[in-house]
A = this chain, B = another copy of it.
Amino acid sequence: MLKGNVIVGQSGGPTSVINSSLVGVFKASKDNGAGTVYGMLHGIEGLLKRQYVDLSEHIRSELEVELLKRTPSSFLGSCRFKLPEPDENTQIYEQLFNILTELDIKHFFYIGGNDSMDTIKKLSYYGKETGRDITFIGVPKTIDNDLAITDHTPGYGSAAKYIASVMKEIIRDSKIYDLDSVTIVEIMGRNAGWLTAASALSKGEDCVGPDLIYLPEIPFDYNEFISKIERKKKERKSVVIAVSEGIRTKDGLYVCENDKPGYGDSFGHNILGGTALKLADFVGSELGVKARGIELSTLQRCASHIVSRTDITEAYMAGADAVKLAMKGESGKMIIFDRISNDPYLISTAGYDVNMIANKEKLVPKEWIIDDGTYISNDFAVYAAPLIIGELPPFMVEGLPRHLYIDDAAIKS
């Protein structure tokens, strides 16, 4: 059984299934004897301002449990807050631990990516050093799928399913006219190409898939890009290309920052994006064909109207198993997925030392990137295909997906 109270937070970019992990933590905590289960608002940054809620007041029924699983983006809000090194600034740690002590928190859960695992790492270190009786467990979450050690991350499967689904739709759309055209689809992923690679899953009996795929793992070359398109155009009139927002030229400059094809430099300094539009512009002027850029943008990380049931179930499991880890007194660990087999697809979870995960990035293996860096091998499809299986349709109310939300007026802070 759990001791005392529990607190859980969400951090970093949202996903379609991050709330399923939240539900997993909430339900498993309640089922295992936790007192109050608090949710910190806007992660650790909000907690420092004493912004939190009693989750029981906001998840009030089994219906709301199911609704929250189907609600995209971070129910509790999020932050991008990096704690200082524990040896450099103890004040902020004392402040945090005082709040945790006041609330009689014995178990702390943080749902997030590699930056968020840095928070778990530092808090568990500081807690241990100062003899605090609180466990700190990380629950993995990122559409980017770039966390070390774990087979994959909750959030990735749904983003991959969304990307492959809309890629099929875009490819169909692009082929209706009997005209030469180039369509460039920009997909998230600053350094890791997992999401862009997922565009290849669209390839199948009823779809040719993208013609070219450019991942950030491989330096981008404008001239080779044009020659590859010219070659593809001999096969078919309408060429569709998937590019990562994070592709860079050999000199390390992001394509979206590069002034080569034309845009003013007031764009793209803080947020990546615009890569597809810039490349479409470049292709249009180089080849004189109709070229269109499509940026999937934030839609790919919050499209809960088409989630992977596998992903949403695993996200729940990651949250619930984090609670079980805490019950054993473990701390400073993150839940990871181990793949037992591909067919049938089976995984197990385990706790793993966050020190080996925090601040690290797992890239797409170079040996999976083929055709001079313009496509992804079948090994990737074997790996990713099970992650997009199954559906969990939204609750549709008056024609639209219904979401659970926190009524601002009801928040005590």
Contacts and interface: CB of A to CB of B under 8 A. Distances in A.
A389 B400 CA distance: 8
Interface string A273-315: 1100100010011000010111111110111111010000000
Interface residues of A, number: 78
A389 B399 contact: yes
Interface stretch (A87-95, A202-210, A330-338, A358-366): A202-210
Given A45-B178, A176-B77, A267-B262, A170 B302 contact: yes
Given A14-B176, A266-B281, A390-B399, A169 B72 contact: yes
Contacts of A170: 298-299, 302
A45 to B, nearest CB: 7
A160 B263 CA distance: 32
A401 B165 contact: yes
Interface centre among A14, A290, A302, A399 (most CB of B within 10 A): A399
Interface of A: 10, 14, 42, 45-46, 71-74, 77-80, 161, 164-166, 168-170, 172-178, 201-202, 204, 206-207, 261-264, 266-267, 270-271, 273-274, 277, 281, 284-285, 290, 292-299, 301-306, 308, 385, 388-391, 393, 396-405
The 7 closest A-B CB pairs, nearest first, are A388-B399, A73-B172, A262-B264, A78-B176, A169-B302, A173-B302, A389-B399
8 contacts: A77-B177, A169-B303, A170-B298, A262-B267, A263-B263, A264-B264, A273-B277, A390-B399
